[in-house]
Each structure stands twice: as structure tokens, then as C-alpha cells.
Amino acid sequence: MQRQDGLIRRTSFLLFGVFCYAIFLATILYAIGFAGNLWRSFGWSSDLFRSMDFGRAPAPAGEALLVDALLLGLFALQHSGMARAGFKERWTRVIPEPIERSTFVLAASLCLALLFWQWRPIGTAVLWDLSRGAPEVLLIGLSFAGWLFVFLATLMIDHLDLFGLRQVWHAFRGEPCARLDFATPAFYRAVRHPIYLGFMVAIWATPLMTLGHLFFAAATTGYILVGIRLEERDLVRCHGDAYRRYRCRTPMLLPLPRRRRRDGLGGSEPTRSVS
């Protein structure tokens, strides 16, 4: 009986992890349509398909700014707060460790879903409108390239671990989930945070830049810069001089040449972990 109970528990972990991942996939696909105002291009204009600038009745500018800022702030608080090592340590006293990452993924997806549902377009001001001909095709293509860059960057570290599937699979098999080696494959040799770079390209590359889109893109960029500081603090605490060497040698977001610093931290090529 005890063995059967253990199997049921492990199976529930696996099913929960797959469920959370499925919610994440649906959310990120919706995000592409939301950020790019793509639903109108497909002729989908119902309440189910809202986007950055269309889909909800206009609200006063002050109300729209307040609501949108609160939605972005909620996501930032959840995403950065739950990713910190101190929170994880306390959180795993409440929930089983194998589903900690899946729970994080689910919470982030729900915060994004709330943002998509309640987002208010901000006014009618247009900073640029290149939604005709070659410029539109180029910018939409660049945005899709950014999303693809994000996806490829997750594969280069460990996609399954990043979204909680590796943890629940090992739990289902009754195996310990060993910590991944710290590695810097492909994109990570050019910039330290290719996932964030891909998001920024995807969000800023738009043929229609409205005040609302500018607010969303600027706030997201600001959050990314703050989030990187917090994440790198954890990485330095975890990996010490290895990450310091990597940070000195590799640009944060823009793949531009950097002058080497003489910091006395010479050594072999560092590697990067999945946070």
C-alpha cells in the first residue's frame, strides 16, 4: 500500500508538471499575438483575443496607466520574488521540492494571463506607424526572430529543467535530480542573458508603436535590467569566481567586444547554470 501511495504521489507530480508546462505554452503563444497586435491581422477580434492596443474599450489615460503599471508590477514581483534562493528555501517547506519549479512556471503564466485580460490600451497617440509594405514585414520578422531566439536560448541550457519538467520526471522515476553543470553554450558565449535579449527584441520590434506599447516595452526593459542584477547576485553567490570571470569577459545583453579587466581572476572558461 505504501509503495502504491508513493507511485500515486510521483505520478501526480508528473501530471502537475505537464499541466503547468501546457499552461505556459498557451500563455507564451498568446503573448506573441498580444505584444504584436497580431490577432487583428488574423481577423480575430473577439474578447478572447486582446492585444496591446486593441480588444478592450478605451479607458481614461490615468486609469489605464495605473492599471497597467499594477499588472506589470504584479508580474515583476512574482517573477523576481519566487526566483530568489531565500524564497525557494522557505517555499519548499510548504510544497514538495520536485514541483517547486512547476509552481513558479504556473504562477508566472497566471500573472501574464491576468495582464493580457485586464490590460488597458493607453490613449490614441502613435509614435510611429510603419504598418505598410517592407518596413512592416521587416519589423514583424524581427519580432518573431526575437521570440525564436528566446526559445533557442532555453534549449541551449536545459529547456526541461527551466520549466520544471526535468524535476518532475526524475521524481516520477524515483531518482534524485542532480544539479546541472554550469555551462555557457552557443549564445551564452556572446551575451550573458540571451533570453532577456530575445524578449527585448521581440517587444521593441513593432511596426505600430503606440504610447501603450512604449510604456509596456520601457517598463519591461526596466524590469529586465533590475532582474538581471538580482539574478547575477544569486549566480555570484552560487558560483563565486567562476561567474565573476564570466561576467568580466562576456557582455550582459549586447554582443559587443569588451576590454578585458585585470581583476586577478584568471582561469579556465567559466560555465553557466540554469537558475
Q: pLDDT digit string (tens) for 178-221? A: 777 777 888 999 999 999 999 999 999 999 999 999 999 999 99
pLDDT at 5: 62
pLDDT at position 8 over 90: no
pLDDT per position as a tens digit, 24-67: 999 999 999 999 888 877 777 677 888 888 877 777 888 899 99
pLDDT at 116: 93
pLDDT at position 77 over 80: yes
Give Cβ neighbours of residue 142 (< 8 Å, ≥ 6 apart).
Answer: 201, 205
pLDDT at position 2 over 80: no
pLDDT at 265: 45
pLDDT at 264: 43
Model confidence, pTM: 0.85
pLDDT at position 253 over 70: yes
Residue 40 vs residue 162, higher pLDDT: 162
